[in-house]
Structure 1
Amino acid sequence: MTKATRRGILAVVVALVLVGFGAGIGVVVGDTLGVGRGDRDLAVAWAARVLLVLALAWVVIGAASVRTRLVRRPGAAGARASWLAASRPWRARESTLGLDSLDLWLLFLVPVALLVATRAVQTSFLSWTHLAVVLGAWAVFAIVLRLCVWRRSPWPVIAAVGGVVVLRCIVTLVALSFTGPGGYWDAFWTDPVARVGSIAIAFALFVWVFVAAGWALSTQIGVRRATGSVLAAVGAGLALPSLVVAIVGLERSSTMWNDELGMLPWGVARILGVTTALELPASTGWFAAGFGTLLAVVGVLLAVRWRPRTAT
């Protein structure tokens, strides 16, 4: 059995395990998810459909370019690198070799633009708080990873992370493309099978972002340092936004978020308070920041290159 075959089998096993965990989460959360905004259904659904077509085009071009001459077209090599790095992260380094400036820019800008647009559509263009928290966490994650790579090429990990981000955005956009009497989100989530399946795939792809990032980095800096780099990036990405939320106040932050998205009825949110209604401890933000900091410290210790002592 070749090394490529073993890696492929390992990747499939990891993916199946992640999907299984995601399905379990989907069953547990049940009908508690969903934000319906019937007044914006049609506009949101069409915006999601346009983004979905563009995202699928990027993925299809990348997959088709692996074994066809399409790779010679402008931008196709970048799509190919994105697809290979996302589906086979151990090939991320080789997939980015020889890319011209256009392909490199697309490799970076397509996932970033799609992530921002998908989050904006998901919140019906109403929640700057959601965008600030989510995009801030992604930005911190990316910056820490870039620092860990340091003098080596950052493009393999950019291709791996960006490729998976595109796939995860596609899952979200499929759900947002549905419309119905109860709201664009409710119309999709009222079907238990669709709800559990979507959560399972979304969860698997979310975790696969970090698996792919570490796998891509391991070909450059080794397994230990790659694992540490990803842990440090995840920890920092969790700690800093959580710290901001904790300083501002969990109740105040949750209220702002709820006012923008309408997750809870206005009366319930104002009378009971969002944290009380959702049974969230007031110290949740501090706990999250502390856990993220601990994770980042452990990651840094693993990512540091320890030089052996020289004999005297």
Structure 2
Amino acid sequence: MATTAGRGILALATAGALLIIGVVLALLVDPFTRVPIEVDGATEWVARVLLVFAVAWVVIGMLAARTRLVGRPGAAAARATWIASTRPWRARESTLGVLPLDRWCMILVPGLLLVATRVVQARGDGFGSVVLAVAGWLVFALAVRLLLGTRSPWPIIAAVGGALVLRCIATLAAISLSGAEGVWHVLWSIGAVRVLYLAIVLGLVGWVFVVAGWSLGPQLGPRRAAGVALAGVGAVFALPTATAAAIGTTEALRGWNSQIGVLPWHLARMTGLYDTQFPAETLVVAAVIATLMTVAGVVLALPLRAGERRRRTAAS
């Protein structure tokens, strides 16, 4: 009980730290995000349908163990993703005994929701950003799978999947109110609401990778679990930055120009993409940093040699 309480306190402290970091970053970008983008009515309603589906998935996960829903197809998957994303130290426990159908649901529901959310964000102007986002997560999944070896991937699948659903809910909530007659424009004009929303979105991005590493702790140990998470983060950011650096900054940003200015950030205006004046050196530096993160994560994730393991055991 004490251990569970301690982990809960640590999780709350971590979430609080991510929120504080999100507030700081939100204050930095706030001057560039004061003009939200308006979406058409069809996009707004699609976002609302997706939002209802995502919220229903979370609610089922929260209530499945206490109601008759627990025996329904997909309910165990929803419960596993909810537990693993909010209490990642229980990720392995939550996936034990899950049936094959529910395992597929743990992959397909968050994955399809992520793709659908990105498509809604693209607003029909082109799907380059959708492909890039999906490719980034596939690279993350591949890196984690290779580093896990023969160990079960289901704990991290449940944890990351649940965290992605929460992140999609935050994004869809804004888009579903951003039509011509939506109230999001009024809310977005309030500085405190704008900063709080940006902080939550940024915090949820960080939480995805926190639960990824935490869920692997019981299987790999703290060092290797942190390495897997670090390698995954590096791989996700290395792909788009390296791609842009390879094909040319101007060409890459011209192709993304109409797709990056999406809610909740007006990133095209913030980064100067409208004039394609984004400095190429920044992308190169970002690609190098992401690559170094990937390499460092791989090194940490590799198992210790037998001799090194014996020395550490003897020293302890």
**TM-score, normalised via structure 2 length:** 0.88
Greater shift in the superposed pair: 302-311 or 6-15: 302-311
Counterpart amino acid of residue 140 in structure 1? V
- Give the Å deviation of 1:120: 0.9
* Matched residue, 1:32: 32
* Matched residue, 1:300: 298
8 A contact 2:114–2:168 mirrored in 1 = yes
* Matched residue, 2:216: 217
* Matched residue, 1:239: 238
* Matched residue, 1:115: 114
String of CA shifts for 1:282-303, please: whole Å, max 9, x gaps: 2222212111111111111111
8 A contact 2:129–2:260 mirrored in 1 = no
Counterpart amino acid of residue 148 in structure 1? L
Matches within 5 A, 1:173-212: 173-179=172-178, 181=180, 186=185, 188-212=187-211
String of CA shifts for 1:40-92, please: whole Å, max 9, x gaps: 42111111100000000000000001333421121111100010000000000
String of CA shifts for 1:173-205, please: whole Å, max 9, x gaps: 111111355988755532323211211111111
String of CA shifts for 1:256-308, please: whole Å, max 9, x gaps: 2114566668xx967xx322xxxx32222221211111111111111111123
Residues 68/2 of structure 1: CA separation in 2 closer, same or farther (3 Å cut): farther
* Matched residue, 2:56: 57
String of CA shifts for 1:3-34, please: whole Å, max 9, x gaps: 00000010001111111111222222224126
Alignment RMSD: 2.3
* Matched residue, 2:19: 19
**Equivalent-residue separation in structure 1 for 2:189 and 2:121 (angstroms):** 17
Residues 229/156 of structure 1: CA separation in 2 closer, same or farther (3 Å cut): same
* Matched residue, 1:284: 282
Residues 178/77 of structure 1: CA separation in 2 closer, same or farther (3 Å cut): same
8 A contact 1:179–1:187 mirrored in 2 = no
Residues 301/30 of structure 1: CA separation in 2 closer, same or farther (3 Å cut): same
Residues 34/166 of structure 1: CA separation in 2 closer, same or farther (3 Å cut): farther
**Equivalent-residue separation in structure 2 for 1:127 and 1:25 (angstroms):** 28
Residues 179/232 of structure 1: CA separation in 2 closer, same or farther (3 Å cut): closer
SS of 1:125's equivalent in the other structure is coil
Counterpart amino acid of residue 307 in structure 1? R
Residues 156/75 of structure 1: CA separation in 2 closer, same or farther (3 Å cut): same
8 A contact 2:48–2:176 mirrored in 1 = yes
Counterpart amino acid of residue 274 in structure 1? T
Residues 17/297 of structure 1: CA separation in 2 closer, same or farther (3 Å cut): same
**Equivalent-residue separation in structure 2 for 1:50 and 1:213 (angstroms):** 28
Counterpart amino acid of residue 228 in structure 2? S
Counterpart amino acid of residue 300 in structure 1? V
Unaligned runs of 5+ in 1: none
SS of 1:48's equivalent in the other structure is helix
Counterpart amino acid of residue 199 in structure 2? A
SS of 1:283's equivalent in the other structure is helix
**Equivalent-residue separation in structure 2 for 1:168 and 1:205 (angstroms):** 6
2:276 aligned with 1:274 = yes
* Matched residue, 1:92: 91
* Matched residue, 1:7: 7
What is the percentage of aligned positions where both structures have the same residue?
A: 47
Residues 290/296 of structure 1: CA separation in 2 closer, same or farther (3 Å cut): same
* Matched residue, 2:146: 147
Residues 269/208 of structure 1: CA separation in 2 closer, same or farther (3 Å cut): closer
- Give the Å deviation of 1:128: 1.4
Counterpart amino acid of residue 25 in structure 2? I
String of CA shifts for 1:231-270, please: whole Å, max 9, x gaps: 11111222222111111111211112114566668xx967
* Matched residue, 2:248: 249
- Give the Å deviation of 1:131: 1.1
Counterpart amino acid of residue 135 in structure 2? G
Unaligned runs of 5+ in 2: 311-316
**Equivalent-residue separation in structure 1 for 2:10 and 2:164 (angstroms):** 21
